[in-house]
Structure 1
Amino acid sequence: MAECEYGTELMNPAEASGSIGTATEKARPPMFESRLREGLSGEARLFRDEPMARRTTWRVGGPADWLVEPAQEADLAWVVRVCREERVPLLVLGRGSNLLVTDAGFRGVVVALAHPLWQRVEVVGDRIRSGAGARLKAVACVARDAGLSGLEFLEGIPGSVGGALRMNAGAMGSCTFDVVELVRFMTMDGQVEERSAREMGARYRGCDGLRERIALGAVFRGRPAAREEIQERMRQYSERRWATQPAAPSAGCVFKNPEGLAAGRLLDELGCKGWREGGARVSEEHANFIVTEPGATASDVLRLMARLRSHVQVERGVNLEPEVQIVGEGAEAWVCWKGD
């Protein structure tokens, strides 16, 4: 069985548990929204009570108190500053893959890098310079058209550059930081810096250098090759992916691979394909994928995850660690798996 190797779309989970209260008016800091709005440029967008089901690939999850789409780095720096000073949780996400927001929603500010500024991808010699909001598929296609090889594996990862950097996302035996040369990021003080890839502390499904920083973009390096060769490799990767992974709404692989094991193979061997909780179901194509149906809730997904994890622990003595990021009000109990 092919094992999924994706990373997460959660770019920076600064206080991501959303522990400052409920979604009621009383829970919101007085005048916070007015202050947040006053420092944003005219092109930035601010939403209130934005359903996160619209922003995540599982298509479940409650509302975020506020969602901001910054149009420039200054907008993002302002949001970071205001959230820090007002002690409001901040969550930065890309395309919302590999992210589960609880049904109660996120008590704080979500930043979505959806403005065209963050999605620019350009060729500079044998390098690709990309914004954090760009789709990984776009990066792979630009590299292909420029005759640059080595980035083909990015085509099948359903996320953005920022999320891939933070989690060192991978597929087809390669990882993001295998092809990254430079990372541009913002600190939680609103300062913009750049560092070489080797200084970022990349590891399996993580990047220590981005734990408390926000990825703004990266420079990828490629190797000159014939466009036809690159296209053929991308075609082969795509065929392999669609033959082993579901088309229904999902968030990629749910659990990390335990050392020396493939989580999907383990779940398959234990007969977990087809297991269901409400509108959430273990995929028949890949046992480490949970797919959702219309009407599904985040709670359905969480219950199914807990059931799978408990079953594997009892039958094989293996502790499956979630690869998906769980955020929002009430997320703490699930993140820590209390009661197991």
Structure 2
Amino acid sequence: MIEAVMLWNEPNNKSHWDPVLDPDWFLFSEMVKDAGHAIRAVNPALPRVLGGISPIDPHFIRRMEGQGVLAAVDAVAVHGFPLDWNLWPIHAWPEKIEEIRAVTGLPVWVSEVGVSSFGAEEVQAWGCERTAELLKGRAPRIHWYSLYDLPREWEATTRHKEAEGSSYYRHFHMGLLRQDGTPKLALDAFARHAPDLGLCQWFHFEDHRLDEAVAWMRRLGVTYLRTGLSWADSFRPNALDWFDRQMEALADFDVTVTFCFTPEHRGIAPHHTSAPLVREEFAEFCAAMVRRYAPGQTVAADAGEIMLQGAL
């Protein structure tokens, strides 16, 4: 069910990793290395991707290499939103990718790219077309963020809030579909470039949009998707039932699963951005999810042998 795993999300962004608790990313580096090795032990063939960085910063990638992280992953990833949040023009996309290629020999994925319709739907539609023109053929994976607008009653995963003008509110307008499921102008633009473009769609716990999202992705010709399995959600009642339902619904797609979000009671601070109290627990979660949804050939063969012996 999984074609790749991503270890964390935007680790160099304070909305996803607390730099006060871990200013040198030492704890993060040790956590990711543990997780990378644990995943490799379960499924040696499963690609491991370092969580997409935002901002795109070659110095951060050099830091990760110096701290041994790149030896525990098979690719790195970047996130970019030049028409909404980044301080560079959309036409700089090729240069931004080359900045990262210049400091690592690993493949560079674009695991989130998007344009909000906050100002105008026409801007989003143009941005989708131009993004496809600039990125197709330059990265092994290009995940457009996202299929759905973020529901207004939900909170955006950011610490910035209203401190940066319209920035916070743009989070709610990134979808090709509105909150009620009706299409925006950019939907047709995206469809013209699928399956070269994939999607990034985060599903909340027991998300009511899951089945409808699958139907839309099939209709659009999407073949690959990035989503997440939340370490924090794994402590909810019936968590495995939800994880199973989500992964079964997405079984027809090539899925990159992002493992992230620290459970409040397992963090140094009670927040999803916190470094964990026991970093090995994140590795154990990652290994358990891979064992469940993308077991290696050895694990699968052992399971089959046990079943055969039981039948005899």
TM over 0.5: no
**TM-score using structure 1 length:** 0.29
TM-score norm. by structure 2 comes to: 0.31
Q: Which structure ranks higher in relative contact order (CA pairs < 8 Å, sequence separation ≥ 6)?
A: 2
Structure richer in strand, relative to its length:
1
